[in-house]
Amino acid sequence: MTSQFNASILPPATLGLLGGGQLGRFFVGAAHELGYRVVVLDPDPHSPAGKIADEHIVAAYEDVAALDRLAQICAAVTTEFENVPAASLAYLAKFIPVRPGADAVATCQNRSAEKHFLQSNGFPHAPCADIRTAFDLDTASASLFPGILKIARFGYDGKGQARVKNRDEARLAFAGFKGEPCVLEQMMALDCELSVVLARDDGGQVRCFPVAENQHRHGILDISSAPARVPYQLQMDAMQIAEGIAQKLNYVGTMAVEFFVVGGGLYVNEMAPRPHNSGHYTIDSCVTSQFEQQVRTLCNLPLGDASAHSAAVMVNLLGDLWYQRDAHHSHEPDWQNLLAKPNVKLHLYGKHHARPGRKMGHFTVLDREPQAVYELALTARRQIGITDD
């Protein structure tokens, strides 16, 4: 079994994917380009990845019969988002290679476990405390206020988070989270936010993509610029920390590490055990995309070249755009302005319906010069109707 698990998996083998969102859709496309078949397991019958997969198993991630089918027909399995139950990954790993492994995913899908991992391994992060009861808020250090109270599980895109100025506000927020375990994190004065997307193979080889600089709007990623407009040494330091995290996790696959830059120093914010929204620029501006790297690491193939051939800015397209003309009915945006620009690449995710705040697509602007591409992206963003309210 060990030799089988370490062998390269070649086309036209069938790969399994837990999760059917837009990240999965790009994975399916990358796998198809390399000649693989893909089976998606996702409970949503309209999932974007399921629409283009060779087979879509519509079932819960804990459904043992569905997991057994994946194990029977797939040569290896991966995941497209971190909230797939780690127990399902561990179950599948009894029969076929699963990359990333259940232990690494379990660490990344729980903020408390994530913070303890960072602390125990000496990686820089914001001061924080576990909050499991209201009493924990009473005894938390005063230095953590003002802070951000975050639920330990299932929070993303600003969901499950509350800014709290003091203990009273923290108690109200904790009650609003219905007693879910949380992490209270000191609010820091940010210079900017960065992310490093990397791929690590089963032999420990790592390839980092260019560092991205990220801007958020209403808690959701709005713009990613690569290369980041920060000093070169800071970029190198971010890559070194991200690589160290992947090694300590014994991670195999594509992953992202998000950073706060505070006073010129780096603090790890979150780890994502999957491809990342801020790495979408790699589809159009890098020799190998983050999704092809995900296929390569899953199949135990040599890593691709992660270098960029263009500077890039990625802009998210949220469902709000579909409601510009009518707040009650969605209308397809006019894509003419974007499609008329030769250096703009439009990607729509094929989601069943638009709703405000939902990621419906993105576009990437390419150019030789980082500052020029940023200005072009802002212009295109305004022309499509994205406002800064």
* Distance between CA atoms of residues 301 and 105, nearest Å: 21
**Domain at 333, CATH number:** 3.30.470.20
User: Which runs of consecutive H residues, i.e. helices, occur in the chain?
Assistant: 2-6, 22-33, 48-52, 64-73, 86-92, 102-108, 111-120, 134-139, 167-176, 232-248, 282-285, 290-298, 336-339, 370-384
DSSP class per residue in 24-63: HHHHHHHHHHTT-EEEEE-S-TT-HHHHHSSEEE-S-TT-
- pLDDT tens profile 5-20: 779 999 999 999 999 9
Is 211 part of any domain?
Answer: yes
Q: CA 2 → CA 65, 94, 120, distances in Å?
A: 25, 11, 30
Q: What is the mean pLDDT of residues 225-243?
A: 98
- pLDDT tens profile 102-111: 999 999 999 9
The number of residues making up the chain comes to: 389
Q: Which residue has the tokens 């899908």?
A: 109
Predicted TM-score (pTM) above 0.75: yes
pLDDT above 50 for 3: no
Q: Are residues 237 and 326 in the same domain?
A: yes
Find the domain containing 165 and state its range.
127-186
Q: CA 88 → CA 15, 83, 94, distances in Å?
A: 16, 11, 10
Q: Which residue has the tokens 């490093």?
A: 196
Q: Are residues 205 and 337 in the same domain?
A: yes
Averaged pLDDT score across all residues of the chain? 95
The number of angstroms, rounded, from the C-alpha of 34 to the middle of its chain's C-alpha atoms is 23
DSSP class per residue in 211-222: PEEEEEETTEEE
Number of domains in the chain: 3
Q: Are residues 211 and 351 in the same domain?
A: yes
**Domain at 67, CATH number:** 3.40.50.20
- pLDDT tens profile 293-324: 999 999 999 999 999 999 999 999 999 999 98
Is 106 part of any domain?
Answer: no
Q: Is residue 340 classed exposed, middle or buried when 0-12, 13-18 and 19+ CB atoms within 10 A define those classes? A: exposed
Q: Where are the beta strands (DSSP E) in 182-231?
A: 182-186, 192-200, 206-208, 212-217, 220-226
Q: How many Cβ atoms are within 10 Å of 339's Cβ, its own excluded?
A: 12
**Domain at 174, CATH number:** 3.30.1490.20
